[in-house]
A = this chain, B = another copy of it.
Amino acid sequence: MVDAAALRDVLDGRWAHIRRAARERLDDSRFTPVPGESIEQARSRITGLLAELPGDLGVTAAFPSEYGGSFDPGAAVVAAEMLGHVDLSLMVKAGVQWGLFGGAVSALGTHRHHEAYVRDIMSAELMGCFAMTETGHGSDVHRLRTTCTYDPSSQTFDLHTPHEAARKDYIGNAARDGRMAVVFAQLITQGSPKGVHAFLVPIRDAQGDPMPGVTIGDDRHKAGLLGVDNGRLSFDHVSVPRDMLLDRYGQVAEDGTYSSPIENDTRRFFTMLGTLVRGRVSVGGASSAATKVALTIAVRYGDVRRQFGAPGHDREVVLNDYLAHQRKLLVALAKSYALHFGQEELVTKMHAVQVAGAGAAEHDQRELESRAAGLKAAQTWHATHTIQMCREACGGAGYLSENRLPGLKADTDVFTTFEGDNTVLLQLVAKGLLTGYRDAFGSLDGWGRTAFVADQVREMMLERTAARSLIQRLVDAVPGRGDEVALTDRGWQLKMLEDREKHVLEGVIRRLRKGAATKKDRQFDIFNDVQDHVLKTATAHIDRVVLEAFVAGIERTGDPDVKALLSKVCDLYALTTIEADRGWFLEHQRLTPARSKAVTGAVNDLLRELRPHMATLVDGFGLPDTWLDAAILREEPDRQETMAKHDAEG
């Protein structure tokens, strides 16, 4: 049997010390979510816990060392992930305070902002908001409507919400705790718009009352995350001193002259946004953390809960012995493992880019943004599907709040549309894959404004970021169409996902070019007619990079037993990914009908082989009992013993 601790050590990876600190310092029932709280109770409890978070958890590790951080962005993201195991309101509250608000002040502000505010932000003395999203503009942030107009006579900006759809909405820390906000608005100076910039704006006075001209609304009750005080901010000609522009990427002189180290408005805006990629990476990680909690509960319950007698079984059969149950839990577990390694690789990449700062290559930054977008979408949808499935796998018990699953489901639900709507993020990933696309259209908007000019698959696409040479060797070893190769041949699995990505991408390019030639007067239709194909490009890409990250993770593993187990799990991930899209592989004759059926057979064989390791696989996540906190896990052993006794007697 594989040692769960050895497995955990492999999963812990580079920031193992952060994970260990969380397991020690947060193994405390004070941090356990409380179902059935009122909004007020939840908000007050979470705000209290935020201030109490132990300093060595790494939650403020991204701040510069001169203020007491360690400038370790990877640690900060892993710390957020660990909070995701414990309480998602706490994770989001911390993410708003230190990641979004603090991160924006650090990344977009300059020395005077850092000196004035960073210490108080880190200690949570100064609570703040990140006010970007507007009611009428979520995904399309460069068209935000809030304006901030410079007046040289007073040397102040006039911050204004022109109409109701321009109010800032869903803003964490706004409804209750925030004293300042980083407000994103269209900067206008000398009569000329300069694009979206960030301003640091007090929103409440020392008594907690709204500042003059600031209207604060409350988003009130939500599906989950009750401990986060989301609200709305509107500004009625609020005066903002000139030095409250976070001016790292754009400065306004006393006379109103605008200057920036980055000429192009759009590029400047995306550079500003790019510094904020950490939020997206954190949300993906925290979603996966919540998913692991749900899977641990469902797998442990499925190992003790019995249902229906069976011939040849003295007792009723435990749920995990049913193929249908394995089809749910083990398949999701394999994907969670794959995404874990995908996330670890992403965090490593993010850390390198952010530590390099201005020295990072633009290519690496783009790759990071694309990868962050894709993995955020993949992990949050996986969370939504898997937690729901775990809830169903626990039957009626899964619906009771005392068993934790309802809270996990409700809290993570928003992640599919927050920090970037998943569908929009997939488009972003797809665009990254198309040569010249971004440059031709020059913006994040839906469809671009000029004719499409993509010519070839960008090299980046098939550039492998992990275990490059190993993967290349495996793929190269696959003969021809590979029909004869074993389904568990890693090279064949990699090649299947690689070929699909390439083929889908080439198909989109072909269709877009054809559309551009034939639908000149209907530019919207050129893109809209292939939108499903564009989105598929992104998912095919994500599947491939995740599999490669998994392969790289296995390659790094020393313990041979752990390595062998991970290899089986990787087979399951690869084959279920192929099985789920076997329609495509058959349509494109990458699978024969017989081989396609064989994939399903191989998946079922793997489920049987992995069945004895289900418990080990969740133990490998290394979650202390206090983080699981499900009544069914506490009660079940006794109950089952009693039942076993009853069975034996009756």
Which residues does A use to contact B, with CB under 8 Å?
35-36, 38-39, 133, 135-140, 143, 145, 162-165, 169-170, 219-224, 306-313, 316-317, 321-324, 327, 384, 388, 391-392, 395-402, 405-406, 409-410, 413-414, 416-418, 421-423, 445-450, 521-524, 527-532, 535, 579, 581-583, 586-589, 593, 596-597, 600, 604, 635, 638-640, 642-643, 645-646
Q: Contacts of A169 on B, CB cut-off 8 Å? A: 396
Q: Contacts of A581 on B, CB cut-off 8 Å? A: 583
Q: Contacts of A600 on B, CB cut-off 8 Å? A: 532
**Contact of A163 with B646 in the complex, beta carbons under 8 Å:** yes
A98 to chain B, nearest CB (A): 21
**Contact of B323 with A532 in the complex, beta carbons under 8 Å:** yes
23 A-B contacts, Cβ less than 8 Å apart? A38-B38, A136-B643, A140-B309, A143-B316, A163-B639, A163-B646, A164-B638, A165-B639, A308-B447, A310-B524, A310-B528, A311-B447, A311-B449, A317-B446, A323-B532, A324-B423, A384-B388, A388-B388, A395-B421, A406-B410, A581-B583, A582-B583, A588-B593
| Cα–Cα, bound, A448→B446 (Å) | 56
**Cross-chain contact of A308 among B405, B445, B645 (Cβ < 8 A):** B445
Q: Contacts of A604 on B, CB cut-off 8 Å? A: 529, 532
A463 to chain B, nearest CB (A): 28
**Cross-chain contact of A139 among B308, B310, B402 (Cβ < 8 A):** B308
**Cross-chain contact of A524 among B135, B317, B401 (Cβ < 8 A):** B317
A572 to chain B, nearest CB (A): 14
**Contact of B312 with A523 in the complex, beta carbons under 8 Å:** yes
> In the assembly, how many copies of this chain are there?
2
Known: A310-B524, A324-B531, A410-B410. 5 other contacts (CB 8 A): A220-B401, A222-B401, A310-B447, A323-B529, A392-B416
Known: A308-B139, A445-B308, A446-B310. A163 touches B643 (CB 8 A): yes
A8 to chain B, nearest CB (A): 30
Q: Which of A445, A523, A531, A587 has the most CB of B within 10 A?
A: A587
Q: Which of A392, A589, A597 has the most CB of B within 10 A?
A: A392
| Cα–Cα, bound, A583→B600 (Å) | 11
**Cross-chain contact of A418 among B136, B143, B396, B586 (Cβ < 8 A):** B396
**Contact of B447 with A223 in the complex, beta carbons under 8 Å:** no
Q: Contacts of A448 on B, CB cut-off 8 Å? A: 311
Q: Contacts of A222 on B, CB cut-off 8 Å? A: 399-401, 406
A585 to chain B, nearest CB (A): 8
A204 to chain B, nearest CB (A): 22
| Cα–Cα, bound, A531→B308 (Å) | 14
| Cα–Cα, bound, A22→B497 (Å) | 53
A646 to chain B, nearest CB (A): 6
| Cα–Cα, bound, A599→B226 (Å) | 44
**Contact of B138 with A395 in the complex, beta carbons under 8 Å:** yes
**Contact of A593 with B582 in the complex, beta carbons under 8 Å:** no
A384 to chain B, nearest CB (A): 7
**Cross-chain contact of A535 among B143, B223, B324, B416 (Cβ < 8 A):** B324
